[in-house]
Amino acid sequence: MIRRAKEVLKIEAEAISSLIKRVDKNFEKTVSLILACKGKVVVAGMGKPGIIGEKISATLSSTGTPSLSLHPADAIHGDLGRVTKDDVVIAMSNSGETEEISRLLPILKKIGAKIIAMTGNLKSTLAKHSDVILDVGVKKEACPFGLAPTASTTAMLAMGDALAIALLEERGFKVEDFAFYHPGGTLGKRLILKVEDIMRKGKANPIVKEDLKVKDVLLKITEARAGSASVVNKKGILTGIFTDGDLRRHLKEDSALPNRKVKDVMTKQPIAITEDRLAADAFRILREKKIDEIPVVDEKRRPIGLVDVQDLLKAGLV
């Protein structure tokens, strides 16, 4: 059993490796064809290649190339109306002789859409009727009977990913663009949510002067239901932060702590962040520095907010 599993992985790894030398002028032509496309990329395949096609289409769509997946059987029963002359169709078939795909070819030609063949048979009907061919042929399937699509569909998937990423780079697709298409879930939050969206403001953000006594600072923190207070000088510039940790450390050594000036026991020149940074950046800083709060400052380093690790938990970033 273990031997067979390892053999399958080896066969599929070799199938992907063999594609590298086939990323040639045909691949460049494919990328150019799609970049020049005024419509969308329609991906079609039957059976297992069709499932791989759905994934390729989804990857294209999420990385800047509008795409949809079209089932060949549905296409010949009316769904061909979704294809226009401005579209590019990626037709997937390892043999290149899949009946449902072959029946689409003359109609796609009549519509005027460009056809990209993703096939393992360069002499097939599909290859002959396509504008460009992506060779995804494999030496053998991982299936011991050579019947179940395994290595061949893995090769298709890998070539589809290579195509999507090449297009992504050619389009200058950025992290911000990716975030725009992924607004939901943790991924979207990490890419979109800003510090200003989650920081504590106003009464929830205790700010105290350097000469204030610790006991009064503690009252401010308690009233704000926070874990720290930002400390500022006479000009309102952040010079320190007083946290629960500072309280515990000094209380052990100094019974007169409540009457001390906060500037004498605060953490000086604390790490701060600006409101336009990603909330994920705030989380990274908290984790790396092993702290629970970080002040939010403006361009003059005046505190305008506070981010607590609890705020990140509520936002679903932790």
> DSSP characters for 23-88?
-SHHHHHHHHHHHT-SS-EEEEESHHHHHHHHHHHHHHHHTT--EEEE-HHHHTTTGGGG--TT-E
How many alpha carbons lie under 13 Å from residue 228 in its C-beta half-sphere? Answer: 26
CA dihedral 79, 80, 86, 90 (to 10 degrees): 90
Contacts of 72 (CB under 8 A, 6+ apart): 44, 45, 46, 50, 98, 100, 101, 103, 104
How many alpha carbons lie under 13 Å from residue 143 in its C-beta half-sphere? Answer: 10
Q: What is the pLDDT of residue 284?
A: 93
Ordered domains of the chain (ranges, CATH): 2-173 (3.40.50.10490), 195-314 (3.10.580.10)
Contact between residue 287 and residue 309 where contact means Cβ atoms under 8 Å apart: no
What is d(CA 223, CA 55) in angstroms, rounded to the nearest whole number? 52
The burial of 172, by beta-carbon neighbours within 10 Å (0-12 exposed, 13-18 middle, 19 or more buried), is given as exposed
The residues pairing with 306 across neighbouring beta strands, listed in sequence order, are 200, 295
Over its C-alpha atoms, the chain yields an Rg (Å, rounded) of 30
What is d(CA 285, CA 176) in angstroms, rounded to the nearest whole number? 21
Q: What is the pLDDT of residue 81?
A: 95
Contact between residue 217 and residue 229 where contact means Cβ atoms under 8 Å apart: yes
Q: What is the pLDDT of residue 185?
A: 67
Ordered mean pLDDT values, 10 residues apiece, the chain (318 residues):
94 96 97 97 97 98 96 94 97 97 96 97 97 97 91 98 97 84 73 90 96 95 95 97 92 87 95 94 93 96 95 81
Residue 197 DSSP SS3: helix
pTM higher than 0.95 for the full model?
Answer: no
